[in-house]
């Protein structure tokens, strides 16, 4: 059975009218189950990317302001599928980092650039921008040339140190 | 005293120091983008920067004289670059290689530093995207010219005057306290 029809029947997904490839719109609360189904039963084994979209100022757009798109790939028959979750400002999307571990950093990037937060994420902090950065630069209402200085060095090794400590090493303060 | 030669030569210390400096400018490569690839080919056999005496690329700022910044510098990197500049020993010089390091290049956006001269002083700028090795040679020759004209003794004199001024101040203060 085609995975899109399963998604439509089981998870209430609907096909995206604007897309030319396989793309379905799905509700945020059904996302975790749908992704679990796609990974375990439909063998979509690779999560290629998580993309944020800001639709502010787009003509004829009646849906919520933001969307998060999950690009999945089945490496057995080389089929690609996109899951689209529409979300408004201040609403949360469940994390899928427990299903695909790579989603950990991808969700952090989406949060960093768009300010879309993910519920249940264990370490939701900025990935690309520095710690003193205010606002989310890829939002349409962020002034494109607004620059923000960083004066103190960013501590980037916290996750590495955590991992070293679980492996039995002791991290000494420099 | 072989062949009647005296075995020493006379010259100004100033000229000797600047001669030594300009023929041993060791670069520290701060490479972040494609300009660094051009810098590598400048260093390697085809162009060979060691012809100018820049023999060693030092990967520690403590042993380097020239900071060659080649590539885009983001705001997240700015404190790192500044710290490396501050770790370098005096005398030190900076070459800003390529459009990104000089002005931010075409990254006119939220994340890129619009020119490294907002963070550290720059001696020589090189244009180009990326700059060719010949341009880097030209910059090194310009830098050598600059180093040649810098006077070690004048700098020393200035420092000594500053030191003496502070010492005199302290002596005067002490005398004033005792009196």
Q: What is the pTM of this model?
A: 0.82
CA distance A74 to A62: 32
Cβ neighbours of residue A101 under 8 Å, at least 6 residues apart? none
Window B:100-119, CB contacts with A under 8 Å: 108-111, 114
What CATH number is associated with residue A97? 3.30.460.80
- ipTM value: 0.79
Q: Do A8 and A34 touch, CB atoms closer than 8 A?
A: no
User: Can you say whether residue B26 is alpha, beta or left, with left for phi > 0 and alpha for psi between -120 and 50 degrees?
Assistant: beta
What CATH number is associated with residue B26? 3.40.50.12280
Task: Give domain status of residue B65, yes or no.
Answer: yes
Structure confidence by residue, pLDDT tens digits, A69-123: 999 999 999 999 999 999 998 899 999 999 999 999 999 999 999 999 999 998 8
Chain A residues close to B78, C-beta within 8 Å:
149-150
A147 reaches B (C-beta below 8 A): yes
Given an 8 Å threshold on Cβ–Cβ distance, is B76 in contact with A142? no
Could you tell me the residue range of the domain that residue A67 belongs to? 3-166
Query: Per the structure, how many domains does chain B have?
Result: 1
Which among B76, B108, B114 is the nearest to A154, CB-wise? B76
Given an 8 Å threshold on Cβ–Cβ distance, is A137 in contact with B111? yes
A150 reaches B (C-beta below 8 A): yes
Task: Give domain status of residue A174, yes or no.
Answer: no
CA distance A92 to A120: 10
H-assigned helices in A12-157: 31-40, 103-114
pLDDT value, residue B28:
94
Could you tell me the residue range of the domain that residue B60 belongs to? 12-151
């Amino acid at each position: 059975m085609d995975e899109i029809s399963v998604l439509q029947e089981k998870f209430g997904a609907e096909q995206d009218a604007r897309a030319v490839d396989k793309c379905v719109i799905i509700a945020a609360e059904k996302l975790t189950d749908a992704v679990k189904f796609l990974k375990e039963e439909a063998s979509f084994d690779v999560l290629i990317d998580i993309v944020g979209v800001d639709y502010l100022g787009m003509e004829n757009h009646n849906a919520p302001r933001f969307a998060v798109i999950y690009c999945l790939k089945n490496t057995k028959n080389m089929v690609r599928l996109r899951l689209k979750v529409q979300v408004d400002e201040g609403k949360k999307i469940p994390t899928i980092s427990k299903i695909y571990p790579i989603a950990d950093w991808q969700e952090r990037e989406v949060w960093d650039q768009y300010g879309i937060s993910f519920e249940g994420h264990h370490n939701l902090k900025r990935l690309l921008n520095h710690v003193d950065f205010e606002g989310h630069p890829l939002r349409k209402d962020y002034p494109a040339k607004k620059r923000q200085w960083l004066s103190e060095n960013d501590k980037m090794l916290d996750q590495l140190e955590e991992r070293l400590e679980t492996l039995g090493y002791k991290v000494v303060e420099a | 005293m072989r062949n009647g030669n005296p075995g020493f030569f006379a010259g100004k210390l100033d000229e000797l120091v600047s001669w030594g400096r300009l023929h041993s400018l060791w670069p520290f490569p701060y490479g972040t983008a494609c300009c660094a690839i051009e810098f590598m080919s400048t260093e390697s056999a085809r162009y060979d920067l060691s012809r100018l005496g820049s023999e060693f690329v030092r990967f520690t700022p403590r042993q380097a004289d020239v900071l060659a910044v080649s590539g885009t510098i983001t705001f997240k990197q700015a404190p790192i670059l500044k710290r490396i500049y501050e770790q370098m020993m005096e005398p030190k010089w900076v070459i800003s290689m390529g459009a990104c390091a000089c002005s931010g290049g075409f990254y006119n956006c939220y994340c890129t530093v619009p020119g490294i001269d907002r963070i550290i002083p720059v001696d020589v700028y090189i244009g180009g995207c990326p700059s060719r090795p010949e341009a880097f040679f030209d910059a090194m020759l310009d830098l050598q010219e600059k180093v040649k004209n810098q006077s070690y003794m004048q700098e020393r004199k200035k420092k000594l005057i500053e030191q003496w001024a502070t010492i005199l101040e302290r002596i005067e203060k002490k005398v004033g306290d005792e009196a």
